[in-house]
Chain A
């Protein structure tokens, strides 16, 4: 699970994330919603230890961001904003590489790779270099990379942005499947339909601060709006 406690990040005079606090429990999908530049990606980068918070901290899977960054990294699966795949490697080679970095034994790694490639229906393309893949397929491979070591916590930055309906659906089904397995999953998104469909709870972030958080029903009540998009617009323009 994730526990954020007044997480703040400043770049010089600019505050990218301001006093952000929230919790994501096991078996829960938590959505971070916000316009571009609101601080979604910076929050993700703080939780994945790419950036150090200016103040505040967070625990991820019970480990403190500042004191045990390596243990945090071992417990998370990250889908970054850009897929960050190596064009000259195949999906299987990607999974092998990152699995090894997580210290997975060879036989476990092979079994897990096969399993994941099957779930994502990438089995027949497992040995093709990803440089030739479509955006949707690349996103699927990057998602599998995040899951390879079976981490308890997942940080998914815009998992379906710019994808066609079919690819987006299979990624959503994948997330749904692992939520049921009890993972704590945090996603950042622009896509309100997706948030409404996938997330148990959402937080709306604007200008580096969380302006509202709760289940979609709670937010509906709070704003007297039905549609999440309208809720979002109302909260962000207030």
Chain B
């Protein structure tokens, strides 16, 4: 029989102790809420042409290309005309400009004719993010200008625009939810998985292997609490911390979207609407993820002799958890279903299906049931190790 009072006392002490530990706080709060959103959005924010227009150096052969250039300049593209003698390659390699352009002589005259073609030479470093952004913007502008010229040429010959596009495609999207949900269906299982695994990892190592190493466990084991009560009390706080870190990660992600999306030029995540039922499912799956990883980590960490050994055993998990999240994107629906009872994978699948509005009662039952079976096994093993004097009292 488990004594609730003792479990509560153990859980309350663990929480108090954890909240006073700077390292747990950093792993639980600071990293999920700050580090990842910043890592995700800062590069886009910094490279964004809305915030910081790309600079283009242009060498004109004569003034016939003035009109084209005037159309090219925008709030995202700043055009600077430079002298013919300048070394374009060097200028771009030095980072003075993101892109260079050489316009041929008689530019507008060539375009006025019915059958001639003007060649624009472009210099760009495609290994730089800003360079590729500049190239995309410039090519976009050139296409628009070309379309206008083509329309004018066609008009002169009397041909309708359809003459150039004999076949047209008409796309009917059958995606249930918008692209935003699709984006989240890839990212959310990954992030929630990572935070379920890493959020409480430090706490778990500290409260099991750490307690063993510091010999505080020996005093605890001489108390009337049973080993099962001790494991359960610690497990509850581990789950709470993993859950808290996952929730904070979601808040961090949303804050990242809100903070940086304006600067990037996207108004908000498009096409995202989740029903309350699906939201509840995501919450439950997050809880299951936290419970599965906490029980698994406790099992491994209790076995370790020291904090360092626990670290060696557990650190690979934070990389391993990425595998199912990534693999999910490349699997067919049938393959995915056959993995529905794999640990961690099952909870990630619930999150993905909820986001894409694809969850079915049969697969949910399988996924939740299997998750609870794994958790029960891991906890039972953890308690068994806790009961083994060989593992607990070393000499």
Binding site for B on A (CB under 8 A): 11, 45, 48-52, 70-71, 73-74, 76, 78, 80-86, 88-89, 93, 97-98, 100-103, 129, 142, 145
Contacts and interface: CB of A to CB of B under 8 A. Distances in A.
A100 B6 contact: yes
Interface string B1-45: 001011001100100110011000000000000000000000000
Interface of B: 3, 5-6, 9-10, 13, 16-17, 20-21, 214-226, 389, 392-393, 395
Nearest to A89: B17
Contacts of B393: 45, 50-51
B6 A103 contact: yes
B220 to A, nearest CB: 8
Contact of A101 (B214, B223, B389, B392): B223
Contacts of B5: 100, 103
A51 B388 CA distance: 9
A-B pairs, 8 with minimum CB distance = A84-B219, A100-B9, A82-B215, A78-B222, A88-B20, A74-B224, A101-B223, A84-B216
B21 A101 contact: no
A84 B212 CA distance: 10
B224 A84 contact: no
Contact of B224 (A93, A103, A142): A103
B219 A80 contact: yes
21 contacts: A45-B393, A50-B221, A51-B389, A78-B219, A78-B222, A81-B215, A83-B219, A84-B218, A84-B219, A85-B216, A85-B219, A88-B17, A88-B20, A88-B21, A89-B13, A98-B219, A100-B9, A101-B224, A102-B223, A103-B5, A145-B219
A49 B17 contact: no
Nearest to B18: A88
Given A76-B222, A84-B217, A84-B218, 4 more contacts: A50-B389, A80-B219, A89-B13, A97-B9
Nearest to A88: B20
Given A50-B389, A76-B222, A84-B217, A101 B10 contact: yes
A88 B214 CA distance: 13
Nearest to B390: A11
Contacts of B224: 70-71, 73-74, 101-103
B18 to A, nearest CB: 9
Residue among B5, B216, B219 with most chain A CB within 10 A: B219
Residue among B10, B13, B393 with most chain A CB within 10 A: B13
Nearest to A129: B20
A224 B10 CA distance: 53
A142 B216 CA distance: 11
B389 A52 contact: yes
Residue among A52, A74, A85, A100 with most chain B CB within 10 A: A100
Contacts of B13: 86, 89, 93, 97
Contacts of B223: 73, 98, 101-102
A101 B14 CA distance: 13
A91 to B, nearest CB: 14
A80 B215 contact: yes
Contacts of A142: 219
Contacts of A82: 214-215, 218
